[in-house]
A and B are shown apart, each in its own frame.
Chain A
């Protein structure tokens, strides 16, 4: 009796499997029909590069060097942003990943609090580009492990440095340079103290670097 029951249930299970399989296949067939143009675009990309590769070389990697005119304005409007940046820097100096993430959130708030009405037209465009990029770095600092945070801090430092050049600050700052950061290509950071405290390596190489420039 029991034996029969088991046999019966196996057959039943097989039946179920069949049902599931056929429903799966049916749904696949139903949805499969609407997908023909996927190869088209990649073909177009191929054509495009072949067509143009020969003639417009001047279009390759447009070099648009833009020199930001240094501002010696004693502008306190940038203070909240700079303070948040310096807090990220200090967290990285002490190898504090969570601290850096927390301060990067504060930096995002500082960006949205910044009063843009004082910016002129050309300043405004430049500002938006800097902030757009800096926000990207801050978002990665929020969610990344420390080595990745440091990579983004390199880019963030350039952005904040350019922001200061653009809008000015009333704070006294030091622009420091570490030749070993950025895969040996070197990178700058900003500090509120004259002593070197390296945020790219933290405790591993705390004293690596030198002051390049003093702001204010």
Chain B
């Protein structure tokens, strides 16, 4: 019985070491695009910091990677997670969205924050700085609502 456990342990260890060689592409770019949300809309300092700390890791072309990303399978999981997050909303390309899409996305951002769906609880667990306080949320909601109304109207 013990032998079996030992073998399983060794096998798992080999797999663990083996998957470290699976390459991942990092979500990092050198330049900030002109279409970047912060560049385009120039939010006040506090809103800007909230966006960078709570949203930009997954929803932009630049992730500030945590230390635990150094290892598989975490890095692979994060890679696919960020990829999906960016197809949903990419702040780096927000300025290039059509006005219709901008408006839709702003509305979705607002409702996700209001309903506590974002930032993800699992993300906040690992990134204390991403947690939005009640007043943070109110600030962000107020500013985004104003922005939503100042962008294109549908009619």
Q: Which residues of A contact B (CB under 8 A)?
A: 9, 16, 19-20, 23-24, 27-28, 30-32, 35, 37-42, 44-45, 48-49, 52-53, 59-67, 129-130, 132-133, 136-137, 151, 155, 158-159, 162
Contacts and interface: CB of A to CB of B under 8 A. Distances in A.
Contact of A129 (B20, B29, B64, B100): B100
Contacts of B152: 63-66
Contacts of A130: 100
Interface in B43-96: 48, 52, 56, 62-65, 70-71
A144 B146 CA distance: 27
Contacts of A129: 98, 100-101
Given A16-B9, A41-B30, A133 B104 contact: yes
Contact of A45 (B17, B38, B71, B98): B38
Contact of B98 (A32, A59, A133): A133
Q: Count chain B CB atoms within 10 A of each CB in A27, A45, A151 and give the residue with the most.
A: A45
Contacts of B39: 45, 48-49, 52
B101 A158 contact: no
A66 B65 CA distance: 41
A151 B117 CA distance: 14
B64 A38 contact: yes
B150 A61 contact: yes
Interface of B: 2, 6, 9, 13, 16-17, 20, 26, 28-32, 36, 38-42, 48, 52, 56, 62-65, 70-71, 98-101, 104, 107-108, 111, 147, 150-155
Shortest Cβ-Cβ A-B pairs, 3 listed = A129-B98, A61-B150, A31-B70
Given A41-B30, A53-B42, A137-B104, A63 B65 contact: no
**Chain A contact residues: over half helix, strand or loop, or mixed?**
helix
A158 B101 CA distance: 12
Given A27-B71, A42-B56, 15 more contacts: A9-B2, A16-B9, A28-B70, A30-B20, A35-B26, A37-B28, A38-B62, A38-B64, A49-B42, A64-B152, A66-B152, A129-B101, A130-B100, A132-B100, A159-B100
